[in-house]
Amino acid sequence: MTGPLVPADPGVVSSVESPLVGIVREYLAALGAHELERCVGFFADDGTIEFQSGVFKGRQAITDWHRERFAAGFQVLDLDRVTAAGNTVEIEAGIASARLRAWRISKLSGKATVVFEGERIKEVRMAPRLYNPFEGW
């Protein structure tokens, strides 16, 4: 499987890239390659992932979350914007999976907020970008 599209500088606000953005890029590369142990290794032992309506807390839950995403064919298709401020990196991206395609959704855009504790991911909050398709009619 091919890795995700991880361009060198999509939407990075400052001319000097935060080291945390580099860690996020490494994580996204591992995610795209479906490297389970490497993905989980980026997280703090008590890290959390908030995804859809669930909260996955701790190493085992984070491992299970990644296994479920890999089984669903999860992919990051593109990165629209990556910004960093303090210990937080925000990513705007498009994702896809076999499960989304089963619902005839070829791409879902959204935002992930990644909060660090040192060089480990403490928390990831993901939310779809919602819009009104009838706006402007």
Range of the domain at 87: 19-128
In a domain, 5, yes or no: no
User: Is it the case that residue 74 has pLDDT exceeding 50?
Assistant: yes
100-122 pLDDT, tens digit per residue, is 888 888 888 899 999 999 999 99
User: How many domains does the chain contain in total?
Assistant: 1
SS3 for the chain, per residue?
A: CCCCCCCCCCCCCCCCCCHHHHHHHHHHHHHHCCCHHHHHHCEEEEEEEEECCEEEECHHHHHHHHHHHHHCCCEEEEEEEEEEECCEEEEEEEEECHHHHHCCCCCEEEEEEEEEECCEEEEEEEEECCCCCCCCC
In a domain, 11, yes or no: no
Question: Rounded to two decimals, what is the model's pTM?
Answer: 0.81
In a domain, 74, yes or no: yes
10-67 pLDDT, tens digit per residue, is 444 443 578 999 999 999 999 999 999 999 999 999 999 999 879 999 999 999 999 9
Specify the higher pLDDT residue, 90 or 103: 90
Domain containing residue 27: CATH number: 3.10.450.50
In a domain, 86, yes or no: yes
In a domain, 3, yes or no: no
In a domain, 68, yes or no: yes
In a domain, 73, yes or no: yes
